[in-house]
Amino acid sequence: MRFELHVWGPGFGLPSIDPTCLGAIAYLRTCLPRDSWALVATSDSSLNPLNELPALKDDSTWVAGFANIIAHLRAENNVWDLDRDLTPSQAADCAAYSSFIQSRGRPLLDLHLYVSTENWTECTRPALADLLSWPSSWSIPHCLREKARKSSEHLGLSGLDVDTAQDEASDGGVGAQIPQSLKKSRQTVQALLGHDTKRSRFRLDAVITDLLAPLEESLGDKEWLVANKMASVDCLCLGYLALMRVRPRAPQPWLEEALDRRFPRLGEWARRRQQEFLGSGRSGKRKSTVGNEAQALPWQEAQRPEWTTIVNNIVVSVTEATPILRTWIVPTEARSNRAQQGGAEKVRKQVAVQQARQHQLWYSQVLTSSVTALTVSIVLAYNGYLRLPGFRSQPRSTRSFGEAGSILGI
């Protein structure tokens, strides 16, 4: 078995909880023989050298990201390229729609699954709890939600995060001194869904329409988006649309309702393709429902991480949460671009990411060793087991008051 596709694990009744991972699964299932690849639910991007999912392992080579995986398969064998028969115009449409889906779809799914407090509490967080083991279950859900908040804040619908609104309302600091008449109201979920204000509803509808309307118009009465057969953009689109209809049903299913009611042709297409290429998911730790289509996926158990990897992940999580240390530990885009000058662009980027990841782990290990050594030295010196160079204990000076002191006992 040559290829291993590492993804975020199954959840929501799907083989993965990430849209690009679902797209990669659909792509590999379409173009590769079943016995030539394995699907591994690692659910922790830090376990591969590129620190990103989905990630494809080809012998000793790692490739991460939906577009990079497609480019790697295309370079290995032209038969594995679903876009090989596209005309120049169709290829341009395929690239444009892929970029459009990711730029519009990711913030919308983040808003639906992570920012919306009810959906996060009752749907997304339990799904992550099924996938992650300690210590990743402590840090990864929080990091994913913070990242989702940042990616969707430009939509202007942060009121879906009821926790934030409640925290600000109950703040007893400076905000409590501002008169109510001067405070800007924060919409709750009910307000955003149209119970209290239509303006928020229009804004939410506009964001949904901005993504789904062009896709339904492009699909029309055809079987696929840009050609008369499946292309890479169809796999990517399927991954995003499948996560709009999660199971069990989300407490606030506004995205699923919009897909089924306002864009029925697109919703029906997504439902049929999901059953054909993604199935009904695979069991996590707690649930054991397995669809026939999902059973056909070449699942392979993920290897348990070594204790050194667990320690490194704990250290990295702590350092990333520290503002000062984060500047030195977390690899930035500028550092990631420092790579070898020769070779192909794809190889150059992959080497850059691996170098940044190695530097991150190295800095974390040096920091841990230094702090540990300093702490042990201080404890030993304090208890007298370690005598520092040039350190001498000085006898306490005593004062004598002569015979009067002897009589008075001082």
**Above 60 in pLDDT, residue 71?**
yes
Under the banding of pLDDT at 50, 70 and 90, the label for residue 155 is: confident
Report the phi/psi class of residue 194: left, alpha or beta, with left for phi > 0 and alpha for psi in -120 to 50: left
Task: For residues 213-223, give the mean pLDDT.
Answer: 94
Task: For residues 367-387, give the mean pLDDT.
Answer: 70
Lowest mean pLDDT among 27-31, 115-119, 386-390: 386-390
- Return the amino acid letter for 227: A
Give the tens place of pLDDT for each residue, 101-119.
999 999 999 999 999 889 9
Grouping H, G, I as helix, E, B as strand and the rest as coil, residue 221 is coil
- Write down the domain spans for the chain: 3-171+183-300, 307-382
Structure-model confidence comparison of residues 247 and 408, the more confident one: 247
Tokens at residue 398, please? Answer: 């005593």
> Which pairs from 136-141 meet CB under 8 Å and 24+ separation?
136/43, 136/44, 136/46, 136/313, 138/317, 139/313, 139/317, 140/44
| Highest mean pLDDT of the ranges 29-33, 165-169, 351-355 | 29-33
Structure-model confidence comparison of residues 126 and 1, the more confident one: 126
* The predicted structure's pLDDT at residue 36: 92
CA 60, chain centre distance (Å): 24
What is the bridge-based pairing of β-strands 299-300 and 55-58?
A: unpaired
Task: For residues 381-399, give the mean pLDDT.
Answer: 59
* Residue 276 and residue 55 in contact, taking contact as beta carbons nearer than 8 Å: no
**Above 50 in pLDDT, residue 341?**
no
Q: Among 67, 32, 23, which Cα is nearest to 298's?
A: 32
Lowest mean pLDDT among 7-21, 144-158, 280-294, 372-386: 280-294
**Above 70 in pLDDT, residue 179?**
no
From residue 68, give the alpha-carbon distance in Å to each of 64, 75, 345: 6, 10, 11
- Return the amino acid letter for 46: S
Close Cβ partners of 57 (under 8 Å, ≥ 6 residues apart): 3, 4, 5, 6, 48
Task: For residues 298-309, give the mean pLDDT.
Answer: 74
Structure-model confidence comparison of residues 220 and 326, the more confident one: 220
Under the banding of pLDDT at 50, 70 and 90, the label for residue 127 is: very high
Sign of the C-alpha dihedral, residues 258, 260, 265, 267?
Answer: positive
